[in-house]
Amino acid sequence: MSHKFHPIILKEYDIRGIYQETLTHDDAYLLGQVYSQIVRNAGGKSIVTLRDGRISSPALEGALVEGLATGGLHVFRLGIGPTPLAYFGEHHLKADAAIMVTGSHNPPNHNGFKLTLKTAPFYGKDIQALTNLSPFRQSGGSYEDCDIQEAYLDRITQDLNFDPQLKIIWDAGNGASGEILEKLVKRLPCKSHTLFTEINGEFPNHHPDPSVEKNLLDLQKTVAEKSAHIGIAFDGDGDRLGAIDSQGRIIWGDQLLALFAQGTLKTHPGSTIIGDVKASQAVFDMIKSAGGVPLMWKTGHSNIKSKMKEINSPLGGEMSGHFFFRDRYYGFDDGIYAALRLIDLVSHSGTTLDTLYDQVPQMHATPEIRFECANERKFLVPEEIKARLKLSQISYSDIDGIRVQTPQGWWLLRASNTQDVLVARCESASEDGLESLQKHLTKELHLSKVIIR
């Protein structure tokens, strides 16, 4: 078979491209065949597949399944749903791997694949190596349709407590969580109101990315109208969580991690809690003051999951809204389960989410800032800046990109592993300090000839 993957679609954490331009049905079929070899070489015989609600997902999943079956695997087809359902399916069905067909929060004409092997993320160099494999047919492959939604709902609602007086607004953003969310709220004693649960790959109401403030406007409006206590939003494939309190204040991912850590450290005292390099210093300080050991690590769900398993951490999280509970759960990123843990936390606290949020130190910080940068340049720019800072003897961390520490606070610049952009963030205890940090960052970007729009 002469078909090859377009080199641009093999990303750090997944496979992702523009449908019918850089990502085609032939890619899906080829992926099925070559990944079946990897699974079988690891001693596996079966795999789970699931798809999101994008218009291109049924055709891509169909081609993928054909490739997996002709490669000799038994395929459990779970239909349509959020990415965590695929991860859960691998555990529940005792499968050897899983592939989720999803474009996550990218534009509607994008799509891709998230992969696991033996319940661990398949990423980095392993994804890059796919292009070197040659497919071949293997007898014995087959597939069957499976519905495990009720089993998933049973699992995520066990051992949790929900205050029946709480009023929750849920925004699925027309993403893949919509159908299962409607089933979930019927099980909860809380008062719930749902928004945009019809799965629609065109995302007609707003883009399903809760890390972008404008995408939470409908949620904020409805929380105010309904006098709700908590607002919850999911991304396009349901592995990320966004939240607001009763006042409509956005609780960013790192702030949610700080709240989750307070509860987790009560049952796992002295444990290491992992946050990514974009997280606020206040979060790491809160983890330490609660008796935990804070660890700053590389951004990316695969990086965090792998590190958690390596050091036996009970909890990890990212600024983007990925949360990983190994405490009472499997350790994969599940936005729906994280939402339930938030409600459980509030239910046990004897107070409100607003009051819990007020306990998080409020720093002066930018949101994530994105600068367009060509793929061949985005990893070089942080290296250029590091070389200049060494000459200036300015302190920095290079765990992931470059996080520069100054008396005014810190700023971060790293290459996105999913888009042709550089991602930046600045944080200070004062407005003047934040302005100083932004000027420093801007100066360095100009020196590396990055265009700032």
Rounded-to-integer distance, Cα 114 and Cα 322, Å: 15
Q: Inform me whether the pLDDT recorded for 204 exceeds 80.
A: yes
Q: Inform me whether the pLDDT recorded for 80 exceeds 60.
A: yes
Structure confidence by residue, pLDDT tens digits, 88-135: 999 999 999 999 999 998 899 999 999 999 999 999 999 999 988 888
Supply the mean pLDDT for the chain: 95
CA Rg value for the chain: 22
Q: Which residues are part of the catalytic machinery?
A: 104
**Nearest of 195, 148, 146 to residue 168 by alpha carbon:** 195
Confirm or reject CATH 3.30.70.20 for domain 7-148, answering yes or no.
no
Give CA angle at 123 (120, 128), nearest 5°. Answer: 145
What is the pLDDT at residue 368? 84
Q: Inform me whether the pLDDT recorded for 21 exceeds 70.
A: yes
What is the pLDDT at residue 2? 60
What is the pLDDT at residue 46? 98
Extents of the domains making up the chain: 7-148, 162-358, 364-447
What is the pLDDT at residue 201? 95
Per-residue confidence band for 17, with pLDDT thresholds at 50, 70 and 90: very high
Task: Calculate mean pLDDT across residues 149-176.
Answer: 96
Which residues share a beta bridge with 452?
A: none
Percent of the chain with pLDDT over 90: 89
Task: State which of 129-143, 335-349, 386-400 shows the largest mean pLDDT.
Answer: 335-349
Architecture of the structural domain at 162-358? 3-Layer(aba) Sandwich (3.40)
Rounded-to-integer distance, Cα 209 and Cα 376, Å: 26
Structure confidence by residue, pLDDT tens digits, 254-269: 999 999 999 999 999 9
Structure confidence by residue, pLDDT tens digits, 379-427: 999 999 999 998 888 889 999 999 999 999 999 999 988 778 999 999 9
Rounded-to-integer distance, Cα 298 and Cα 276, Å: 6
Fold exhibited by the domain 364-447: TATA-Binding Protein (3.30.310)
Q: Confirm whether 7-148 and 364-447 share one CATH topology.
A: no
